[in-house]
Structure 1
Amino acid sequence: MINSKVETNSKVETNLKKNLLMLFSRDGVGVLVLLIALFLFLSIASPVFLTVNNIANLFVQSVFIMLIALGVMFVLATGGIDLSVGSILGLSGGITGWMMMSGSGMGIAILAGLLTGLIIGVVNGVIITKLKVSAFLVTFAMLYIARGLLMLLTKEDPIRGFATPEFAFLAQGSVLGIPTVVLITFIIFVIAYFVYNSTSFGRYVSVLGTNEEAARLSGVSTDKLKISVYAVSGLLAATAGILLTSRLTSVQPLMGNGYELEAIAAAVIGGTSMFGGKASVVGVAIGALILALVLNGLDLLAVNQFYRLIITGVIIIIAVGIERYMARKS
């Protein structure tokens, strides 16, 4: 009788552990719990947090990192890394602002900004695949190159006076009370979700990150796929740069500085593995919201902004630790 009870309890405990592992391994559910916990804490800690203006500002704060992180997610899922996205954001925004200031139409200026990010992403991918140089070294070098080009473009002074009402509307306007920049980001989120979860491109990305040799033997053009994910990363970073330029209506020489680390943090917090083969579009979005919540909370609680770096670092360590633990259990 005693042995029977022990076995029953053991089975219940085992099933409970399995259910918990399943819960936290689903698409973004684990980080969703963390997001809700932070949301509830700030709701209690600050009477200003739940105001309409603050919630709208919170979503707007999150979208720029979210866009970059969605691109970085594809790169990380293949086992690569992209450290150049923050500088691509700044340079693409700078190109857009500079062209508009020089008399180009908004459409041409935006296209030039997008092409800037796309081309840099392709260059990163080509160097990594054809010259067999480490992705870390290539994108780290590109971080400096793009930043240097932006400083040359701005001559170390901000670019101002170019924003038309139509351009400013992209990140400052609203449709039915919803900020335009949030709507644009939501559309891109839906596209990224569909591409990663419902297309052969998304499946190949995961296979490549899991086992590159197996992907190659399966007929996947691994070089083209790697170039493609870096191109996507550059394009989304450029999109974020153009929207941030619209938001600020100016371009600073250091615009986007440090965004690459926050984008990687958002992806990792959201369940994307830095070792490849695993990613979550929903998780990335939640990870970006968590980082925005941390920043927003620090502002509302009047906490020294230097603690943001410490808190972000701690969150990354916890997220990576949980991700590795879940991977071993799986």
Structure 2
Amino acid sequence: MLWLLAAVLVLAALMLASLAFGTRDVPWSDVWSALGGADGTLGEAAASKRIPRTVLAVLIGAALGLAGAVMQGVTRNPLADPGILGVNMGASLAVVTAVAYFGLSSPTGYIWTAMAGAALAAVFVYTVGTLGRGGATPLKLALAGAASSAAFASLVTAVVLPRNDIAGGFRLWQIGGVGGASFERTGQVLPFLGAGFVICLLSARSLNSLALGDELAAGIGERVAVARAVAALGAVVLCGAATAVAGPIGFVGLVVPHTCRLLVGVDHRWLLPFAALLGAALLTAADVTGRVVARPAEIDVGIITALIGAPFFIWIVRRQKVRAL
């Protein structure tokens, strides 16, 4: 409970920092006034414009952190992450293809298309990872995901390059970021994120059973295939919805669950809420950092999280106990 309280306080502090710091620093008095609805002064207007961006960063970070924890639980793979397993790039490829060749323009259509692409990519990578001797080992899944992600990224480039009318916007979206957020965009994706959160959090007990191994889980009455499919569905919904609105942001779902296990252990009833809170905190911190270090421009959060997550990924791979959770 102390760690839970600490996580909430850290997230609240980072949300306030997101309103106060950026290209223009805003006095704390104007931040509080903006939270009350005021936008009369320049500082209050700046803080007011940052509120939707902060809310979106919290939601996307929570979604990616929770999805990563669920994916690691479903596959019993410490290297599982929406970016590493190619799920985010699969969602990106589906959206780009639908926009370029089928005229997709509806925001809701973006979300449904991204979720479909994320699901197909997850099934494809898991199928490839299970081929050969030993089944779906963590290393085979990571290699299959990395290769698939690179292939999907190349296909995205191949689709976008000939289309000058959409190339500029998609290049920015492909990096991954929360700039240009609005309550309208957030409201469109909120029902999908809410459904994903509920499905994942309700899967906590099932994931605890799956952690014992399929045979033992079945022996204590768990319907292994159903439990794995439902939990994976929740993760895919979160990944697809997050990618549709913010682009393919990587490594949040890898870094956060491992950090949470160090704090609260492996019980998914605690791990999943903590993963959501710390994911929200990490993405909010990355967004603030990207705005502060490159003034007056900014660095998108997808770049910041990659700088954090790549060394973390190498460290996990080099650990001795990387075969399974």
Do the structures match in fold with TM over 0.5? yes
Shift of residue 217, structure 1, vs aligned partner:
1.0
Q: Percent identity?
A: 10
Counterpart for residue 89 of structure 2: 90
1:243 aligns with 2:239: no
- Over aligned residue pairs, what C-alpha RMSD do you find? 4.4
Q: 1:61 aligns with which of 57, 62, 84?
A: 57
User: What pairs with 1:64-75 in structure 2 (closer than 5 Å)?
Assistant: 64-75=60-71
Q: Quick check: 1:48–1:54 contact (8 Å CA) kept in 2? A: no
SS at structure 2 position matched to 1:47: coil
Q: 1:311 to 1:44 in 2, by over 3 A?
A: farther
SS at structure 2 position matched to 1:291: helix
Ranges in structure 2 where 5+ consecutive residues have no aligned partner: 32-46, 168-172, 317-325
Q: Quick check: 2:7–2:274 contact (8 Å CA) kept in 1? A: yes
Query: Structure 1, residues 40-79: CA drift from partner, whole Å, max 9, x if none?
Result: 6677774268311123222233444433333222123343
Cα separation, 1, equivalents of 2:262 and 2:64: 14
Kindly provide the amino acid, as one letter, of the partner of residue 260 in structure 1. Answer: G
Query: Structure 1, residues 181-238: CA drift from partner, whole Å, max 9, x if none?
Result: 433454344334433444xx44212221256553121132435544554454344323
Kindly provide the amino acid, as one letter, of the partner of residue 239 in structure 1. Answer: A
User: What pairs with 1:1-330 in structure 2 (closer than 5 Å)?
Assistant: 22-24=1-3, 28-39=4-15, 46-47=25-26, 50=31, 51-78=47-74, 79-80=76-77, 81-85=79-83, 87-106=86-105, 111-126=112-127, 132-155=135-158, 157-158=160-161, 161=165, 179-198=183-202, 201-209=203-211, 212-244=214-246, 256=248, 259-269=249-259, 276-278=266-268, 279-302=270-293, 308=304, 312=308
Kindly provide the amino acid, as one letter, of the partner of residue 288 in structure 1. Answer: G
Q: Quick check: 1:63–1:181 contact (8 Å CA) kept in 2? A: no
TM-score under structure 1 length normalisation: 0.62
Cα separation, 2, equivalents of 1:65 and 1:42: 14
Cα separation, 1, equivalents of 2:140 and 2:308: 24
Q: How many residues align?
A: 269
Cα separation, 2, equivalents of 1:212 and 1:190: 29
Q: 1:244 to 1:309 in 2, by over 3 A?
A: closer
Kindly provide the amino acid, as one letter, of the partner of residue 23 in structure 1. Answer: L
Shift of residue 32, structure 1, vs aligned partner:
1.1
Q: Quick check: 1:73–1:284 contact (8 Å CA) kept in 2? A: yes
Q: 1:116 to 1:210 in 2, by over 3 A?
A: same
Kindly provide the amino acid, as one letter, of the partner of residue 116 in structure 1. Answer: G
Query: Structure 1, residues 96-142: CA drift from partner, whole Å, max 9, x if none?
Result: 23222223455677544432211222234445568622134314422
Kindly provide the amino acid, as one letter, of the partner of residue 150 in structure 2. Answer: R
Ranges in structure 1 where 5+ consecutive residues have no aligned partner: 1-21, 246-255, 321-330
Q: 1:127 to 1:35 in 2, by over 3 A?
A: same
Q: 1:235 to 1:36 in 2, by over 3 A?
A: closer
Q: Quick check: 2:70–2:272 contact (8 Å CA) kept in 1? A: no
Shift of residue 284, structure 1, vs aligned partner:
3.2
Q: 1:96 to 1:300 in 2, by over 3 A?
A: closer
Counterpart for residue 15 of structure 1: none
Cα separation, 1, equivalents of 2:246 and 2:81: 19
Shift of residue 271, structure 1, vs aligned partner:
5.9
